[in-house]
Structure 1
Amino acid sequence: MTRTDPFKALGEIPQRVNTAGFLSQSAEAWPDVEAVIEAKSGKRITFAQLEARASHMAAGLHALGVEFGDRVCLFVPASIEFVALTFALFKLGAVPVLADPGMGRKRLLGCVARIRPRVMIGIGKAHAARRLFPKAFESVEISVAMGWCLPGSGPKLTSVEAAGAEASSAETEWLADTGSADAAAILFTSGSTGPPKGVLYTHGMFHAQVLALKTLYGFEAGEVDLACFPLFALFDVAFGSTSVFPDMDVSRPASCDPAKIVDAAQTYKATSAFGSPAIWKRVAPWCMDRGERMEALRRVLVAGAPVSPDLIRALHGILPLDGDVHTPYGATECLPVASIAGRTVVPYLEERIQSGEGTCVGRVAPGIDLRLIAIHDGPIGSWSEDLEVAPGELGEVVVRGPVVTAHYVADTEHDALAKIPDAEGGHWHRMGDLGYLDDDSRLWFCGRKSHRLHTSQGMRPTVPVENVYNTHPRVVRTALVGVGPEGEQLSVLCVQPTAGSMPKGKAMRRGFQEQLKEIGRKRCDTATVEGFLFHPDFPVDPRHNAKIERERLQAWASEQLN
């Protein structure tokens, strides 16, 4: 693999840059183009109107005392107001804190307490939570209410915006003089392998991500994006694309109504979409059952968990002939890291995936330097090329580049575990994933490092084995877990059968197990699975409803076998 300087691959990142500048540029270039559409309410706003509302909100919030660098918790649904507020905070140089409500009450309160926001803007439920759990919100000095809220929740957002509009003049320009290294936002990891961690994004990183995504996927002004993951709407503003928020609970993508997703895509002629595999697993069969094809949808980005060849094939069946599925690989801490087109996976790599080679996530994205190092669980004090494994060997994925975050927020323990300082004052980020590079410089994902098994025969990654058994027609998904003490773990495959296929009674279980064993016998690397357990519905992560919560499955498997 040819190595280039990742910090030069995307061009120079300006030293003085503010993410809100993307909105100003789009408003100037395409003032009358719709920026955001809410499918449920039918409300819509142009780029010029969005720029004006963001500026008015910035002026109103500034009058309330919101200042440069303030951390601002946003508990606002996917809406025009969400986009306008986020860019208003960018304009002020304040730092929006964006946490998924789906992560659960205890985790959410813990995140708020660690971040210590000075400002809170939210709907009634958020302000009620502040009343019920004041300790977590003790740092909040300024609060703003959106919609109906309990008395005492602070001024209404509509009033704040109106006051800002009245105080602003045509010459007023709200755009803080932020540098590329200044804090822009705080996002949280999904929490699928532990407590959610606060990830600090800078204005320079957002700028680099916009350039990387445009280079990788060819986003153009005038496109219409079905934003099933609300944060992607912030990139749409930079692309000059229209964001359509479908009628769905974004905290529960696996429960979405596929009819409403398809209706939004068809009504507004979406050309692009971004969402979890959980969404498309509902949308694809719904369309196929009705013979419906989304003719305008040329690009579907599916992210959040490994994507099976079967799902890619199903999506190809409902897209136009020139449409394709893309599976970006990355993390909250760095995105995009790699990507592959669905028409490369199916049919060219499908057999290799289903034969136990892992999941191919493609070639490295622009602006990323990716290496594979020897697997190590503890902190690594400094970078050295001696850490790297031989070409083609399984290793731990590490990356550096302008789209890679520098550190977590108030979390030195995880900084030490996830970051490797280099001699130039930079750092490498440890993805926490296992993988290898093939002869075509494509990265093959083999599972999370923390999920690997420690058996008497040695270390075993999870995903290659699971991909083999996932080919059974009555299997939704599988999870390989280790049961027993480290070094002597049994390899146990947890299996989630399709609806109506859960075996009842010993005879049915034995029959299903024999079918699975027969699949394993054909693949020598998977023949050592020592037990099969059937689970009706795997626990999954709160953000994408797609990552399997293996720690819970491992505990369940241990109980079943004991």
Structure 2
Amino acid sequence: MNHASPQDQLQQLGRQVLGTEAFGPGASMASLGAWTSLKHVQLLGRLAEAFDLDIELEEAYRLDSFERLLQYIEQQSEAPAPAAADAGESTIGALFAARAQALPEAPFLIFPKEDSRYTYRGFHQLASAAAARLSSHGLRRGERLCVVMPNGPEFLAHYFAAHLLGLVLVPINPALTAAELAYIVRDSGARLALFDRQLAAAREAAAGLLDGVRLLLADATSGHGIEALQAGGDTGLLAPAAGIAADDPAGILYTSGTTGHPKGVVLSHRNFLADAAALAQWFGFEPGTRTMCILPMFHNNGQVITLLSPLQVGGSSVILEGRSALMSFWKMIDQHQVHWTSVMPAFLSTFLEFGLKRTDQSLRGIVCGGQVLLEEMRNRFEARYQVPVFEGYGLTETTSFSTMNRHPAALRRSGSIGVALPCNEMKVVDEDGRTLPPGQTGEILIRGGNVTRGYHHLPEVTERRLQDGWLHTGDHGWQDAEGHFYFATRLDDLIIKGGENIYPAEVENALHGCADVVECAAFGIADALLGQEVCLYVKLVPGSTLGEDDIRRLCGERIARYKCPGPVVLLHTLDDLPELPKGPTRKILRRALREHYEALLQRRQQPEPAIA
């Protein structure tokens, strides 16, 4: 029997396989040239034999440093309880109830706007009161419940109430128009929709477009307001309804609807908990971990990493109402001693633009996704605020993130959206579905425990997007030999000019770093000769003297001539578009820009009225 410590055994085997004495504490694939992909596979094989390990494929690329390998060996040897939910906690309601029973007095949710704090038991009581109110409407397991509310205690009380009862939660963006709200409520098949009390006008307008649906304000009158739920007394801790299974639908999240009507993505309890557990494990969440949610919870990013991931380990969350809290971001981090948060790249530029100052010493990292994070922006932010940003990639259809840059920060790969999380596998394919080798660009496909089983009432779309278990994302990207993925563009955003593929990010990146440019967006427009031409909208800093030709010149200094824009539109020259149009998650709406440009052309082509 080998009586050497696991660390000594690991070091000895690693040096034998890699042929270098440099393998040891601090070594990683990124820092050690001898640690190639082939040697990595050989090393894992030797370790599996020496320590009697069954290393799953999705774990292989994550074990890319001496410390990660040692931690994995020690964890497998000790067989610890996983960070994910136990077998009996396979649904969101079951996990929530189990944490309330095991950690009744531990802090769970903090709402700075309402100046309120809840322990696990305290919020379970609030959710139980909300569940009693929902049950009084005759809602049964499997029925849909629409919730039109901003982040806050009322939203989350009904969120967990729905999951305790086995209802399917349909969170809706409060900023939608009455027609958009009505479409989602109608399409979901919900019999009840709850509105924030500040949305009385929206409720009335939507009511005129819907039949057979109860639309209630969450206030004292309906019994769904926070004061009514708190006044309900101790209703006890409601146990999850019998018969709720991991693969039952937990929520329907509607996509932003940049093309036609929005599609309802059906996500199961397994989907939510698989993604949440993977992220909690990835970043080493533990019972004392505290996150802060600043993203809207009608999107999955806000629900997963800043709510369900800490719930997995018995941590706590600070819940902010949304973007209105941006200016107090660092104050909230400091005041509540937050360890992790998740933002959109646009938030980082906001912090820099307004010169917000960091005062805390608690924040360990920021998770970032939803749109491409430019390297120049990340570098500026990290230099200013001295906190690492971890970029990842995912879709509504994958619950939240599918990839993430490696943790700790020294293991990140510049320009990459990360490696596949353990809860899913990914590949890049060509137009015929053949898997492409590293370095070649194609469509990104994903399958795993976090991937949706389909779209609500859209079997044809489900069949087209989900084939043999693989989600066809509609995104272009490529993978390197070490498993790092790189995002190119949405297939819909791809510009094909004279047979050449041009990715919008290539054009936009050419202007980043220019002090006069606040932001820009490239997209394709029809061209009779080339098929498509590049059009670029640019927002300049106030007082800039740059013109359209200057923008083209700057692009020409950075990218190939054929990638440079033809038409350039400067926002300050327009009277109807002061900002680039963005969706609820701050993604640039290129379709809206394309429509604006077409209308702009029509106006410019109209003859000037004759002067009498």
Q: Is the TM value for this pair above 0.5?
A: yes
Aligned to 1:409: 456
Aligned to 1:543: 584
CA distance in 2, matches of 1:225, 1:479: 32
For the residue of structure 1 that corresponds to 2:475, the secondary structure is strand
**Which of 146, 152, 158 in structure 2 is aligned with 1:79?**
152
**Which of 346, 360, 375 in structure 1 is aligned with 2:416?**
360
Aligned to 1:325: 389
CA distance in 2, matches of 1:486, 1:193: 24
CA distance in 1, matches of 2:408, 2:515: 22
For the residue of structure 2 that corresponds to 1:22, the secondary structure is helix
Aligned to 1:381: none
**Which of 570, 583, 590 in structure 2 is aligned with 1:534?**
570
Which stretch has the larger CA shift, 495-504 or 35-44? 495-504
**Which of 552, 556, 561 in structure 1 is aligned with 2:596?**
556
CA distance in 2, matches of 1:408, 1:257: 33
CA distance in 1, matches of 2:411, 2:537: 24
Change over 3 Å in CA distance of 1:13–1:331 after alignment to 2 = farther
CA distance in 1, matches of 2:186, 2:199: 14
Aligned to 2:246: 180
Q: Which has the higher contact order (CA 8 A, sep 6+)?
A: 1
CA distance in 1, matches of 2:549, 2:385: 40
CA distance in 2, matches of 1:174, 1:84: 14
CA distance in 2, matches of 1:515, 1:389: 34
Spell out the pairing of 1:197-236 with structure 2 (5 A cutoff): 197-229=263-295, 230=297, 231-232=302-303, 233-235=306-308, 236=310
- Note the alpha carbon deviations across 1:189-213, whole angstroms, 9 max, x for none: 2334553321111111122122211
Change over 3 Å in CA distance of 1:404–1:486 after alignment to 2 = farther
- Note the alpha carbon deviations across 1:522-541, whole angstroms, 9 max, x for none: xx476554443323455333
Listed as ranges, the gaps of 5+ residues in structure 1 are 350-358, 377-385
Change over 3 Å in CA distance of 1:139–1:294 after alignment to 2 = farther
For the residue of structure 2 that corresponds to 1:45, the secondary structure is strand
Aligned to 1:354: none
CA distance in 2, matches of 1:491, 1:148: 57
- Note the alpha carbon deviations across 1:462-488, whole angstroms, 9 max, x for none: 223322332333223333322225882
Q: Decide whether the 8 Å contact of 1:59 with 1:164 is kept in 2.
A: no
Aligned to 1:430: 472
- Note the alpha carbon deviations across 1:352-410, whole angstroms, 9 max, x for none: xxxxxxx521111112111112248xxxxxxxxx5333432110111100000010112
CA distance in 2, matches of 1:453, 1:211: 37
Change over 3 Å in CA distance of 1:527–1:439 after alignment to 2 = same
For the residue of structure 2 that corresponds to 1:269, the secondary structure is coil
Q: Deviation of residue 441 (structure 1)?
A: 1.9
Q: Decide whether the 8 Å contact of 1:28 with 1:48 is kept in 2.
A: yes
Q: Decide whether the 8 Å contact of 2:99 with 2:311 is kept in 1.
A: yes
Q: Decide whether the 8 Å contact of 2:419 with 2:484 is kept in 1.
A: yes
Spell out the pairing of 1:328-343 with structure 2 (5 A cutoff): 328-334=392-398, 335-340=400-405
Spell out the pairing of 1:433-448 with structure 2 (5 A cutoff): 433-448=475-490
Spell out the pairing of 1:80-95 with structure 2 (5 A cutoff): 80-95=153-168
For the residue of structure 1 that corresponds to 2:509, the secondary structure is helix
Q: Deviation of residue 293 (structure 1)?
A: 4.0
Which stretch has the larger CA shift, 459-468 or 215-224? 459-468
What amino acid is aligned across from residue 219 of structure 1 in structure 2? F
**Which of 488, 491, 499 in structure 1 is aligned with 2:530?**
488
CA distance in 2, matches of 1:450, 1:462: 11
Q: Deviation of residue 126 (structure 1)?
A: 4.5
What amino acid is aligned across from residue 136 of structure 2 in structure 1? A
For the residue of structure 2 that corresponds to 1:317, the secondary structure is helix
CA RMSD of aligned residues (A): 3.3
The answer to whether the aligner puts 1:239 opposite 2:280 as a matched pair is no
Task: Pick the structure with greater CA Rg.
Answer: 2
The answer to whether the aligner puts 1:372 opposite 2:415 as a matched pair is no
Change over 3 Å in CA distance of 1:408–1:347 after alignment to 2 = closer
Which stretch has the larger CA shift, 294-303 or 367-376? 367-376
**Which of 301, 309, 321 in structure 1 is aligned with 2:375?**
309
Aligned to 1:281: 349
Q: Deviation of residue 489 (structure 1)?
A: 3.0
Q: Deviation of residue 6 (structure 1)?
A: 6.4
**Which of 514, 522, 541 in structure 2 is aligned with 1:472?**
514
CA distance in 2, matches of 1:103, 1:316: 34
The answer to whether the aligner puts 1:58 opposite 2:126 as a matched pair is no
Q: Decide whether the 8 Å contact of 2:526 with 2:533 is kept in 1.
A: no
TM value normalised by structure 2: 0.75
Q: Deviation of residue 4 (structure 1)?
A: 5.7
Q: Decide whether the 8 Å contact of 1:277 with 1:544 is kept in 2.
A: no
Q: Decide whether the 8 Å contact of 1:61 with 1:160 is kept in 2.
A: no
Q: Deviation of residue 347 (structure 1)?
A: 9.7
TM value normalised by structure 1: 0.82
CA distance in 1, matches of 2:231, 2:548: 67
The answer to whether the aligner puts 1:28 opposite 2:101 as a matched pair is yes
Tell me the number of residue pairs that the alignment of Structure 1 and Structure 2 aligns: 515
Aligned to 1:392: 439
Change over 3 Å in CA distance of 1:304–1:348 after alignment to 2 = closer
CA distance in 1, matches of 2:216, 2:486: 46
Matched-pair identity in %: 21
